[in-house]
Amino acid sequence: MVILGGCANRPQWPDQTSSAVSPIASSRSSDLDLDQRLILEQVPFYAQEKYQCGPASLAMMLNAQGLTTEPDQLKDLVYLPGREGSLQVELVAAGRSHGMVVYELDGSLQSLLTEVAAGHPVMVMQNLRFNWWPQWHFAVVTGFDREKRNIILHTGTRELHEEAVEVFMATWNRTENWAVVMLPPGQLPATAEPIDYLMAVNDLETTGHWDTASEAYRTAERAWPDQPAAILGQGNIAWQAGDWAEATRHYLRLTSEFPDLAAGWHNLAQSLARQGCESPARNAAECAFSLKPDRFSLEMPAISSGVSAECPSVDCPDTERP
Amino acid sequence: MQTIRNNLRFTAFFMAVLMSLATIWTSPAVANVVGTGELLSEQRVELDRASLLNMLEQQEVKDKLADMGVSQADVEKRIQNLTPAELSAFEQQLAEAPVGQNSVVGIIVLFLLVFVVTDILCATNIYPFINCIR
C-alpha cells in the first residue's frame, strides 16, 4: 500500500475535547477547554544529559505523579549506552515497575491535548530528523497554547519549550504518533477506552505487579461496570497468589454480574475445587460446559481435600439455549 | 574454523535453552483458569467484528454491494467467519486510510475483492458467479 504521509497538510487544531472518549472520561472532562493556554505547573524539569532524553523524560513523568526519582537513578533501567538512547518498551516497563499504569494514546492530537487538559503530562516520541536518517527523541508535553498554535514541552535542555504545532506534528508523525500517559492505578486517563485500558492493566498483571494491577482493575470496574475482565482480573490475581477464598469471592461476583460468561463459571469451578467444595465446583463446571461446550470440558479439577471452607451454593443461570 | 564451529554450537545450545524457557514462560501464567488477557483478546475481536458489521449499514456501502451483485447477508456471513488475524488486518487498513466517506467505501470494496480471490482459490464460495479453479 502506498503511504502518502502528511504532505503539506496544515494540522487542524482540535475544536473541543473528544466526544469519542468514553462516557466516564467525557463526563469528567466536560469542563476541559482546548481553547486556551494551559501549562501543567506540577511537572518538574530535568535537563537531559547527552543522549539521555529517555531517563530525563521518565523522571519528569514519574515526579509529576509524586514519586521521588531522578534521571541518574533511572539511567540503569532505561538507558542503553551502546545505542546512545532508550527503547520505548523499556520506558513503558520502567513506568510499570514504578507502580504506574502506562496507557498508550490513540495517536491523535485531540487525545494528546485532552490528556494535558485533564492534568496528565504526556510522554511523546519524536523523530527530529528524517525517516531515512532518524534522530529519535523523547519529550514530555506539559502544555499548549491555542492562540499561538504551540505545543509546550519539556524537551532536551529546554524547559517549557514552545513548538509550533506544524513542527510538532511533523516530528511526532514520524514515530507513528507514539504517546503515553503514566498514572497511578486509582486514576483513569481522560481518553481511556475500556478494553485498551484493561489490556494495559493486564500487562501489569502478567509482569507480576499484582497490587497495582488489582487496584487498577477496581478502578476500571467502577468506571465500566459492563466490563467482565475488570472482575476476572481481580479473581485471577488472587488465584495466582494462591488465595482461593478471595478468588472465589471475585468469581462469584463475576458469575452473578455476567451469568453468560463461560470463563467466569470455569474459573469459579477451579477455585471452588481448590477450596475443597466438591459439589458447587461440579455445578460451576457444568455451567461453563453448557455455555461453551467447545471450549470447556466436564472434566472436574482435582478436589483439594482437608481444606475447610464455607462452600457457597452454585446454580447455573436459566439460559434458554437455542 | 573450528573455534567458530564451537562457538556456533554453544550459541545453538544457548538458543535452544532460551527458546524452551521462553515457551514455558509464555504458556498461560495462570494454569487452569482462563487468563484475563484471553478474555480481553476475545472481546477485542468481537468489538472489531461489530464495527465492521456497522459499516455495512452505510448507504454507500449498500449501493456498492448492490452494484457488485453481492447480497448483504452473504457479506455478513463472511464477516462472522473472519479469523481474528483477518479482522485485525482489516482494522489496520481502515486505521491507515485517510479520513472520508469514500475511502471507507473503497476499503470495504477492496475487502470484497479479497473474497473474489478466495473464491477463485476455492477457499470460499461467496459469489455464485465466480467458478473456482481446481
Residue A157 shares a structural domain with residue A118 = yes
Residues A227 and A167 in one domain: no
Among the ranges given (A7-11, B27-31, B62-66), the one the predictor scored with the smallest mean pLDDT: B27-31
Q: A17-21, A209-213, B19-23, B42-46 — which one is most confidently predicted on average?
A: A209-213
Same domain, A151 and A78: yes
Task: Judge whether A45 and A130 are in contact, CB under 8 Å.
Answer: no
On whether any CB of chain A is under 8 Å from the CB of B33, the answer is yes
**How far apart, in whole angstroms, are the C-alpha atoms of residue A78 and residue A147?**
37
- Give the structural domain span for A70: 37-183
ipTM over 0.95: no
Higher pLDDT, A97 or B6: A97
Name the more confident of A72 and B5: A72
Phi/psi for A10 (5° steps) reads -75, 120
The CA distance from B126 to B130, in Å, is: 8
pTM of the predicted structure, to 2 decimals: 0.79
- Residue A137: count other Cβ atoms within 10 Å of its Cβ: 21
- Are A79 and A214 found together in one domain? no
Q: Does B28 touch chain A (CB under 8 A)?
A: no
CA distance A106 to chain B (A): 11
CB proximity A36 to B under 8 Å = no
Indicate whether A310 belongs to any domain.
no
Q: Is the pLDDT of residue B89 over 80?
A: no
Using pLDDT thresholds of 50, 70 and 90, give the confidence band for residue B34. very high
Reported as half-sphere exposure (CB side, CA atoms, 13 A), residue A96 has a value of: 21
Q: Are residues A46 and A156 in the same domain?
A: yes
Q: Residue B129: pLDDT above 80?
A: no
d(CA A285, CA A268): 8
Q: Is residue A299 part of a domain?
A: no
Q: What distance lies between CA A198 and its chain's CA centroid? A: 6
B100-115: average pLDDT: 62
In a domain, A313, yes or no: no
A61 & A178 share domain: yes
Cβ of B96 within 8 Å of Cβ of A228? The answer is no
Ranges of beta strands (E only) in B50-126 are none
Q: Are residues A71 and A146 in the same domain?
A: yes
Distances (CA, A) of B127 to A322, B65, B107, B118, B131: 30, 12, 18, 10, 9
Same domain, A147 and A251: no
Element (H, E) at A298: none
Nearest CA in chain A to B28: A206
Question: Which has more confidence, A54 or B66?
Answer: A54
CATH code, A175: 3.90.70.10
Residues of B in contact with A198 (CB under 8 A): 36, 40
Q: Is A275 on the interface with B (CB under 8 A)?
A: no
Q: How confident is the model at residue B113 (pLDDT cuts 50, 70, 90)?
A: low
Same domain, A83 and A140: yes
Residue A104 host element (H or E): strand A101-104
Q: Does B44 touch chain A (CB under 8 A)?
A: yes
Predicted pLDDT at B64: 72
In this complex, which of A229, A239, A270 lies closest to B43 when CB atoms are compared? A229
Same domain, A165 and A273: no
Cβ of B40 under 8 Å from any chain A Cβ? yes
Residues 49-88 of B with CB under 8 A from A: none
Verify that A147 and A236 share a domain, yes or no: no
**Cross-chain residue pair B36–A267, CB shorter than 8 Å:** no
For B42-49, what is the mean pLDDT? 86
* Partners of residue A261 in chain B, C-beta under 8 Å: 39
> Domain holding A243: CATH number?
1.25.40.10
Q: Give the number of domains in chain A.
A: 2
C-alpha closest to that of A207 among B21, B40, B25:
B25
pLDDT of residue A6: 38
- The residues of chain A scoring below 50 in pLDDT are 1-8, 18-30, 320-322
B contact residues 88-127, partner A, Cβ 8 Å cutoff:
93, 96, 98
Name the residue among B35, B44, B98 with its Cβ closest to that of A236: B35
**Residue corresponding to grid cell 495466582:** A240
